[in-house]
Amino acid sequence: MNWHGKKILVTGAGGFIGSHLCDALLDQGAEVTAFIRYTSRSDWGNLEFLSPEKKASLRVESGNVEDSDFVGRHIRGKELVFHLAALIGIPYSYHAPRSYVRSNIEGTVNVLESCRAAGVERIVHTSTSETYGTAQYTPINEGHPLQGQSPYSATKIAADKIAESYYLSFDLPVATIRPFNTYGPRQSARAVIPTIISQALTSQAIFLGALEPVRDFTYVKDMAQAFLRVAESYTAIGQVINIGSGKGISVRDLADMILRLMNVEKPLLQQEARMRPPQSEVYNLICDSSRAKELTGWTPAYTLEAGLLETIDFVSKNIPFYKPANYTV
């Protein structure tokens, strides 16, 4: 696909992955409209970290995907839509599940219906590996059963199925990308890697939840490229496509690796407030991304260690962004 001059809309553009995706699209010469959630502060979230030149070339629209009028108005005239807007914090979904229904399910319906009305050429809908729950087998392929082990994951399962229904019912050209754990610069303190790094820089110990869960981590620049490859692939339409490295590491071993890279020795302490309810904890997520390679040619370029070094550098330079003394849900 020739991205130059393509009229693209990215929902959730102020988020972690969304901001890196905007970065990558601008590098390709696309005309990018960035949906960000409205706040009275008028900040652009993680888009603030883009270069001044890139920020000047963005069109930024502040609103809410729960507002169908707002969504429809700004999707008109777009050729391709990347839908990343969602409430994503698993712990917060225990406290405010209805908010997740409105944002993740109703928001997705608004985006898909607006794309259908506007005749958008391609939609990439964003899922999550949390939809699989604790693995029944590994590596996890796209045929693995879906399990709603948190209100967050349940709403993402529903959103994925709505996207599937729009493809089957209306022939809407939507592909679903299912990232496993993504990490890198700009990720918030609600995620485990910036939590470990920021505490290693400022605290006497590393406070975490469960240490046994195994996760498959992909560097955010690799993930942004996966979004582009999925959008470029005609054969991806109607498909769910896992994106991950295929390599698992436990939270305990991940923390040990980060501390080694930082040349820091600090104890790992489990904190009750950071533990998920026992039946909600997902213990094993390792990706089978063979479909991604087959349909799009995507493979990760970064090793975990290389990506962690760039992430450590970013967190070290932006430590006030993380508030390491607070537990972020």
Task: Please give the pLDDT value at position 320.
Answer: 87
The domain in which residue 61 lies consists of 7-183+219-246+285-302
Give the total number of structural domains in the chain.
1
The residue-averaged pLDDT of 236-262 equals 98
Share of the chain above pLDDT 90, in %: 89
Are the C-beta atoms of 9 and 78 separated by less than 8 Å? yes
Residue 156's H or E segment, with its range, is helix 151-170
Q: Look at residue 262 and tell me if it is in a domain.
A: no
Nearest Cα to 86, choosing from 104, 67, 105?
Answer: 104
Q: pLDDT at position 11, please?
A: 98
Q: How much is the average pLDDT of 234-241?
A: 98
CB of 307 closer than 8 Å to CB of 183: yes
59 in a structural domain:
yes
Neighbours of 146 (CB within 10 A): 17
CA 264 to the chain's CA centroid: 29
Instruction: Output the average pLDDT for the chain.
Output: 95
- DSSP category for residue 65: T
- Single out the residue of 329, 282, 279 nearest to residue 132, CA to CA: 282
Considering the domain boundaries, does residue 63 fall inside one? Answer: yes
Q: Tokens 């991304």 identify what position?
A: 289
Residue 8: per-residue pLDDT: 98
CATH of the domain at 100: 3.40.50.720
In the prediction, which pLDDT does 273 show? Answer: 83
Residue at 280 is within a domain: no
Q: What would the pLDDT profile of 2-42 be if each residue is shown by its tens digit? A: 999 999 999 999 999 999 999 999 999 999 999 999 988 88
**pLDDT one-digit tens code per residue, 77-125:** 999 999 999 999 999 999 999 999 999 999 999 999 999 999 999 999 9
| The Cα angle at residue 178 between residues 172 and 184, in degrees rounded to 5 | 130
Instruction: Name residues whose C-beta falls within 8 Å of residue 142's C-beta, 6 or more positions apart in sequence.
Output: 178, 239, 240, 241, 242, 288, 291
Asked, for residue 275, whether it belongs to a domain, the answer is no
265-304 tens-digit pLDDT? 999 998 888 888 888 888 899 999 999 999 999 999 999 9
In a domain, residue 170? The reply is yes
Distance between CA atoms of residues 211 and 283, nearest Å = 10
In a domain, 316, yes or no: no
Contacts of 138 (CB under 8 A, 6+ apart): 248, 284, 286
Structure tokens at 254: 């991940």
Q: With respect to residue 193, please indicate whether it lies within any of the assigned structural domains.
A: no
- Alpha carbon distance, N-terminus to C-terminus of the chain: 39
The one-character DSSP state at 145 is: P
Number of C-beta neighbours around residue 301 at 10 A: 11
